[in-house]
Chain A
Amino acid sequence: MTDLINLHISEAADLLAKKEISSVELTRAHLAEMEKGRVLNAYITETPERAMADAEVSDKRRANGESLGALDGIPIANKDLYCTKDVRTTAASKILSNFLPTYESTVTQKLKDAGTVMLGKVNTDQFAMGGSTRTSYFGESKNPWTDANGEYALTPGGSSGGSAAAVAAGLCMGATGSDTGGSIRQPASFCGITGIKPTYGRCSRWGIVAFASSLDQAGPMARSVKDCAIMLESMAGYDKKDSTSVNTPVPNYLSALTGDIRGKKIGVPKEYRMDGMNEDVAKVWDKGIQFLKDAGAEVVEISMPHTKYALPVYYIIACAEASSNLSRYDGVRYTTRVEGATLDDMYKNTRTDGFGDEVIRRILLGTFVLSAGFYDAYYTRAQRVRRLIAEDFKKAFETVDAIVAPAAPTPALSFADMANMDPVSTYLGDVFTTPSSLAGVPAMALPVGMSSNGLPIGLQIIGKHFDENTVFQVADVMEKSAGFNLMPHRVKG
């Protein structure tokens, strides 16, 4: 059974096609592993009955000689930010803890249509606000990579930490994540898996609980570059229900995995090499650069002068949008309600009770930066700097095909360390991921090396708008060069 939970999607797809395994077997193996892995608190809601039913349907389809493709019969998990029809969708919050959607998000519907089997809904930071899953109303998820004492004492990162932990621990073969300022890439790096935030507009946002509309983007998380390519191909595409999704054809991502990057020009932004940088991270970055050189790419130093502003700009814009996006959770319709003497009291009681501290902090921050008298100083100025950051990327891509950078400033942090950090220090963890989020360009994280204390460290490959192909192409070569095939110890049953 261990074999089944260690398979990549691409490998399982071959075995399913050859009928050497069935989706029911594959699904059952993962459901069993999920039960053992509950200590990781990766799932908020498990849907075993539905999973088994879906798996049976998939097997029947294949028995009839029909297949929906590489994902048909593959067990996956969905981040609990995606609305799933008739399956509770909480955004890891109390306020939506009883919300049962009557509709399915576009992206999860596409995965359903591709024949995937949904195992359940995985944990996230509340409304995707955080980098650790510590803000989840349902408690933090644990990184399956243990600390020096063999304890589950590390964060899987976030916000897509439940997705990352589940993928790394074999509790699903792949998972949907979402990335607003690094929420796919940082947990992928912390858990030693792959994940891509595609170009803004590549995947529909329809049916995904919104955090910051101009930044939110859906993406896959899996155990190989190839698996991410398979998943993204099925998740991506124009959706007329999302005005910001872009009507441009989705290329064949698998065809990008040529294994050849000779002559490609890869940029290394000098502003990303910061004073006091984590040594392990710096070493892995250098190692990655060497892999690319060895594969025949030309690596050049580039300058992205506005990088240092990305973090504050990101927190102004994301919080501003969030403060407005979360207004709909008001106790009037589908959210949990706490009554009050007046309508205003009901709002206050409902929202004070229903939102966690970090969510409230960001709503307040966002409300502040949009307030009369502060709007121009914060929001307008942040938008202006955002354009400069996007310009940095545009200019860089005039000379390079892709950029290589760390995905996170450190390996996975321990909960004990995080408990002593103030909110601003935790925000610093997004320093490498927010620039590309603000620019809307695609970026992929993949594991490249290990830290001195035995934790995975990922790098990111950043590409041009709608050029996920080059990102996959470069990431694939780096993945092969790195030969990173380490897995966390499986949870002992």
Chain B
Amino acid sequence: MYTIKGNTSDWELVIGLEVHCQIISKAKVFSGASAEFGAEQNTHVSLVDAAFPGMLPVLNEECIRQSVKTGLGLNAKINKYSRFDRKNYFYADLPQGYQISQLYYPIVGEGFIEVHTSEGDRKIGVERLHLEQDAGKSIHDMHPTKSFIDLNRSGVGLMEIVSKPDMRSPEEAGEYLRQLRAIVRALGTCDGNMDEGSMRCDVNVSVRKVGETILRDRVEVKNVNSVRFVMQAIEIEANRQVEVYENGGTVRQETRLFDPNNNETRPMRSKENAHDYRYFPDPDLLPVILTDEYIEEIRASLPELPEAKKKRYVSELGLTDYDAHVLTLDVETSRYFEEAMIGQDPKKVANWVMGDLFGYLNKNGLTVSNSPVSAKNLGALVGLIADGTISGKIAKDVFEIMAETGKEPAVIVEEKGLKQESDTGAIEKLIEEILSANQDKVAEIKAGKDKLKGWFVGQIMKASGGKVNPALANQLLDKKLAE
């Protein structure tokens, strides 16, 4: 159990996450404008997004479908009746002066996500998922006294996924977020890129003495833009709270900003905290009524989710829990693995993916999606080892060349003449040469110093440039020594 030691007590953490996921859809949630990321500023803006007089929102059905899909992926209850509310506040990048959201009747209710940590497997509760619109973007660093507004993001559909306060350690929160990202990516409902802001996370943290069952006042930490930062922010904020309590103070409910540069959380200006959002049902939109048929149709179209995939990798492919977990955390990785494994030993392929491939990709800041070694070629490489064409050792060299050139392994083996020698006559000849050149050592072996056989194998490999199958070399060496 993760605790923070204080002078008066050990402290336990209570953590909840609010994750905003930008919905993958062609158009924004209430306007026909494109929801594509990265376009030139203010080019994807309709009259609705800029809140011109008399403009009205019209719900994009695709966003409903994506939300239901995500809800099903979170093992959650889909609410057949949901409704939109206005959250009122003024800000320069919020043209309507309100955000359309779902406070009272969200589209998705309670569900859970299974996470796996060093302390075992746990189900983390999901409180709700609601659909809302994103605000625009304020840009403060382009002019000394002016702010610039980009409304491309204004009105893009968001799913806000609120967890229950079920997490007890930074690791658990990190795993929850990773697993959530794996799920939405597998579903194709959000691309989960935290650095581009398509997935954003606010963290609610409180601490309590071990054994307490009450919830103490929590602090909401904003601006936490990676899994690593989430874990870091929780640790820092929890320690800060423990220190406050240990020194006789109290933690009050507030919103703080995470500052990764200074490794601290600090309070937001109180003004930014003092909103009364005056939620009320949006009279421009009708309630969303879903039928069982609609929900079942979406359920039937769901792809295999990471958790199910993981279980299948263990039971059907014989992978370890750990390997199966790593390979299913990211839909691109599992897709890569499944392609590479066609016709090959899954365990061997898994080792290559998680070993050499991940090593290379990490070192070069790449991902499986833009890996120079294609899944097909990695599978082929494993195949060349399996059928004895090359040795495992040579394969490592071939892999390096594949990564540099993107070429097929068979072509590299051919070009570089790396094919394993299996011609027994040629190998026997080579062994005879080595034995005759080292009569003294042969004598020692015959006198019982068996260990020297290894030295001879080494010499054989060296003389052949590594192309001799080591098992074959051993076998033939024994034969020659016995003669």
Contacts and interface: CB of A to CB of B under 8 A. Distances in A.
6 contacts: A96-B53, A205-B54, A242-B56, A324-B86, A334-B52, A370-B280
A324 B283 CA distance: 11
A166 B287 CA distance: 40
Interface of B: 47, 50-59, 86, 88, 90-92, 95-98, 147, 149, 276, 278-280, 283-286
A343 B57 CA distance: 26
Nearest to B47: A103
Contacts of A347: 90
A83 B53 CA distance: 8
A258 B450 CA distance: 119
B346 to A, nearest CB: 51
Contacts of A343: 91-92, 147
Interface string A190-215: 00000000000000011111101110
A91 B53 contact: yes
A359 to B, nearest CB: 14
Contact of B54 (A208, A244, A323, A367): A208
A227 B340 CA distance: 75
A210 B280 contact: no
Across the A-B interface, the 4 shortest Cβ-Cβ residue pairs: A327-B97, A370-B278, A213-B283, A214-B283
A212 B86 CA distance: 14
B96 to A, nearest CB: 5
B95 A206 contact: no
Which of A96, A244, A324, A343 has most B Cβ within 10 Å? A324
Given A343-B91, A379-B280, 13 more contacts: A83-B52, A205-B56, A207-B54, A210-B53, A214-B283, A240-B58, A242-B56, A243-B59, A243-B285, A244-B284, A327-B96, A367-B278, A372-B278
Interface of A: 82-83, 89, 91, 96, 99, 101-103, 105, 205-210, 212-214, 240-244, 320-321, 323-324, 326-328, 330, 332-334, 343-344, 347, 367, 370-372, 375, 379
Contacts of B59: 243
A209 B280 CA distance: 20
A210 B52 contact: no
Contacts of B86: 324
Contacts of B283: 212-214, 244, 321
Nearest to B284: A213
Nearest to B88: A324
A210 B53 CA distance: 7
B88 A101 contact: no
A82 B53 CA distance: 9
B278 A332 contact: no
B278 A101 contact: no
Nearest to A106: B54
A210 B54 CA distance: 6
B56 A206 contact: yes
A441 B434 CA distance: 106
Contacts of B58: 240-243
A34 B55 CA distance: 31
A254 B147 CA distance: 56
A489 B11 CA distance: 86
Contacts of A333: 50-52, 95
B51 A324 contact: no
Contact of A244 (B88, B90, B97, B286): B286
Nearest to A347: B90
B309 to A, nearest CB: 39
A195 to B, nearest CB: 21
Which of B57, B59, B92 has most A Cβ within 10 Å? B92
A207 B195 CA distance: 38
B45 to A, nearest CB: 10
Which of B86, B97, B149 has most A Cβ within 10 Å? B97
Nearest to B50: A333
Contacts of B285: 243-244
A375 B280 contact: yes
B270 to A, nearest CB: 14
Given A243-B286, A328-B95, A99 B280 contact: no
B56 A241 contact: yes
Nearest to B87: A324
B30 to A, nearest CB: 9
A305 to B, nearest CB: 26
Contacts of B280: 320-321, 324, 370, 375, 379
A242 B286 CA distance: 10
Nearest to A127: B53
A324 B97 contact: yes
Nearest to B277: A372
A360 to B, nearest CB: 15
A379 B85 CA distance: 14
A89 B55 CA distance: 14
Given A213-B284, A321-B283, A324-B88, A371 B276 contact: yes
A444 B246 CA distance: 72
Contacts of A96: 53
B238 to A, nearest CB: 30
Contact of B95 (A101, A323, A332, A367): A332
A105 B95 contact: no
A241 B97 CA distance: 20
B56 A371 contact: no
A335 to B, nearest CB: 9
A237 to B, nearest CB: 15
Contacts of A241: 56, 58
A332 B51 CA distance: 11
Which of A102, A243, A244 has most B Cβ within 10 Å? A243
